[in-house]
Amino acid sequence: MQLTLKTDYALRILMALASTDEVLSVDWLAAHYGISRNHLAKVAQALTAAQLVTTTRGRSGGMRLARPPAEINVGALVRSFERFEGFVACMGGEEPCVIEGACGLKPALGGALKAFQSHLDRFTLADIARRPDAIRDRLLQGVS
């Protein structure tokens, strides 16, 4: 059981942006996190589409947060990037289970996924990036 790389990268981008007032480019983020530029670029597009970041073009262009970190909810973010419907094959997966309708696993897992999300709903980007200077320092040290 794992968060997708997409959600992981979305959280990393947002935390980096929460750590500075500067505009950060995908190239800068890829170099400083030491992760794939292509993957990051796709996630950056999704964050722009979700109106969580704004993008400026050009040589000194890049991303910045579209709203304050305290107004970006972690649970909502994870929901918008993760697919929970296919969490187990019987829950909307491509391979429906033979005992579907007779087994009580779906509501149990559904409740567990709700509990997971409800816990994350308690956090905003400001909470998980509550040490912006430390994040910034680590990113600056991390350049490859």
Question: Which CB, 58 or 98, lies closer to a second copy?
Answer: 98
- Looking at residues 37 to 66 of the shown chain, list those that interact with a second copy (rule: CB under 8 A): none
Q: Is 71 near a second copy (CB under 8 A)?
A: no
CA distance 109 to 115: 10
Q: Which stretch binds a second copy (CB under 8 A): 43-51, 54-62, 64-72, 126-134?
A: 126-134
**DSSP codes joined into one string, 118-135:** HHHTT-BHHHHT--HHHH
34 touching a second copy, by CB under 8 A:
yes
Q: For residue 93, give the DSSP letter.
A: -
Indicate whether 117 belongs to the interface with a second copy (CB under 8 A). Answer: yes
Of residues 56 and 105, the one with the C-beta less far from a second copy: 105
Residue closer to a second copy (CB basis): 42 or 138: 138
Q: b/e per residue, 102-140, with b = 16+ CB within 10 A?
A: eeeebeeeeeebeeebeeeeebbbeebbeebeebbeebe
